[in-house]
A and B are shown apart, each in its own frame.
Chain A
């Protein structure tokens, strides 16, 4: 493979990885700190797309659409936390899986009721719809570059919040020793609410950014949710650093697997193998480090 092609595929892998990172952060925090398995994360991804599409249709502005959609997802996440997730804290993981799976089914049907079955369309803002000449022979879609940049910025902002603010300190403490934090009189339910909302907003943001690339349709969050869970497992539950490293690993491996394996092994075997690459990686990591790459020391 020519170096230019290699580099461009690497860009594709990183872009995909950064989207997974946005989703994985939410899942890893919600699971690591709140000890809640939230399958409806993929639904936040899907609703982010739908909300953006609807707000753009009403306001005719991409920027306004993004802001309003983020707000809407935030409010929805808070509502969900209040009504459905809060009672689940003291229940086992199976109950959480059942409840949040029910949410997935509900939202999948809801979007069909509200917006119909046809796959829908979000326009990329015109200043982003061209290509950027990265280097010789590679005209990379400007939009993909932009969303990668946004995801990186969000990652940096997250790092600053977690590492440099009081709230971040509480989150880190909660990830390591939840009980101690509670006993020190911190209103843990406020923290939980914030974390859940943050997770939802990040997932919604990933959905908003990915929506214009794909088709907005019911159930679009499920395939990416599976990969997100794999990323969280590989990275270690509760670790944001782990989520980042694992997401990039998965993104790049998946991308290269898809193009290289069919070339090496032929179409049939190659395709089958490329579907399995990520899971083989997960199995390998778990054999070597059963708690993931960067396990937090919680529970």
Chain B
């Protein structure tokens, strides 16, 4: 009887080891991919757009990212840093993801990125680009394929100078990202800063600030607002008689196809900087825009485009290591190569895993059907590097 138990025990152990080996091998050929984004809450428009870009990519890849069976785990951070940290921990502990993407906003990204990286996952940020993560906070397994938070603003500030504006008024949202974006625009602008005004995140009535602005009579105005504040600001700017009188500049989040219906004609003529535009003429972008239009019956936003790009980047990296995700060094090298067709045309990573890319300028105009669209009007900066890459001390 003792012998039987022994045999029984050894058989169990053998089966267990065999099972572990087998599932271990199978795991190397399966990708567990997490999408961590804001699907509810005040800022959920961006999350919803990221999901749309994600879905288009998954469809085009036939459900197999990198040619490997993919399990997708979608996590909602509700646009709140506390929730984001919890969701990140669940992705690592419960879902055992190997790669995470999404991460639309700086405050939730800062909360979730550490747990994810400490848990051994690769993180591919598809939108927010906080300056800390580009500098001292950089990490070998973190890749931000979208932009550095300052890039677009520096570009538009320089563009405003290039356009001959000498005195500019700057306004933004009163929080971390708002300060970063607005101060970056001020850095890019070479003329006189007439004022630097920050308004509370929830404030939607800008009557007092617009009165001050009009009294100061600047040559141009730069603002950092998005979602509901961008709707409210654009409408009130027009109602105050400033539309067309004082040129309004911003960055790509101020207006896009999700906000056109609410902003209406009040947003005509606004000039924004963006690292992508739906009119960019390359095969990858054409495929993406056509697929998006067919599925969602309107033009895509930058959020969707950047998530789509992040997915194609992930696809190229997983394909390069032939699904062997356990080999982190090889995976990292594949990510660094960024050997994929970006909707932005050319794309490459800097040493800190942030992009080197062209920053475009677009203006809101009407097409011949009378509909609003973001018209590509030029390039602000070519091959722009972010301002923090030299602070990143990453092992090669």
Contacts and interface: CB of A to CB of B under 8 A. Distances in A.
Contact of A214 (B212, B228, B264): B228
A131 B240 contact: yes
Contacts of A118: 45, 258-259, 261-262
Contacts of A177: none
A215 B204 contact: yes
Contacts of B240: 131, 139, 141
A15 interface: yes
Nearest to A254: B208
Interface stretch (A120-128, A149-157, A184-192, A277-285): A120-128
A256 B235 CA distance: 22
A262 B235 CA distance: 25
Interface string B204-237: 1101110110110000000000011101100110
B48 A255 contact: no
B24 interface: no
Interface in A241-299: 255-256, 258-259, 262, 267, 271, 275
Which of B211, B212, B227 is most buried by chain A, counting CB atoms within 10 A of its CB? B211
B81 to A, nearest CB: 19
B264 A117 contact: no
Interface string A196-227: 00000000000000101111110110010000
B257 to A, nearest CB: 10
Interface in A82-101: none
A9 B208 contact: yes
Contacts of B212: 5, 9, 259
A117 B241 contact: no
Interface residues on A, range: 35 or more
Contacts of B349: none
A214 B258 contact: no
Contacts of A12: 207-208, 211
A141 B239 CA distance: 6
A213 B232 contact: yes
Given A219-B42, A275-B200, A214 B241 contact: no
A81 B205 CA distance: 31
B244 to A, nearest CB: 13
A271 B179 CA distance: 13
B319 to A, nearest CB: 35
B207 A16 contact: yes
Contact of A262 (B197, B239, B261, B264): B197
B183 to A, nearest CB: 11
B207 A267 contact: no
B241 A119 contact: no
B239 A129 contact: yes
Contacts of B209: 258-259
Residue among B207, B229, B264 with the highest chain A CB neighbour number at 10 A:
B207
Contact of B208 (A117, A119, A258, A271): A258
B206 to A, nearest CB: 9
B226 to A, nearest CB: 11
A271 B228 contact: no
Nearest to A130: B241
Interface string B35-50: 0000000101100100
B235 A255 contact: no
A214 B205 contact: yes
Interface string A6-17: 001100110110
B259 A131 contact: no
A271 B208 CA distance: 14
Nearest to B235: A213
A2 interface: yes
B204 A271 contact: no
A48 to B, nearest CB: 15
B136 interface: no
A131 B241 contact: yes
21 contacts: A5-B211, A9-B211, A9-B212, A121-B263, A121-B264, A123-B264, A139-B240, A143-B239, A210-B205, A214-B205, A214-B231, A215-B228, A215-B262, A219-B42, A223-B202, A258-B209, A259-B211, A259-B212, A262-B198, A267-B196, A275-B200
Interface of B: 42, 44-45, 48, 174, 196-200, 202-205, 207-209, 211-212, 214-215, 227-229, 231-232, 235-236, 239-241, 258-259, 261-264
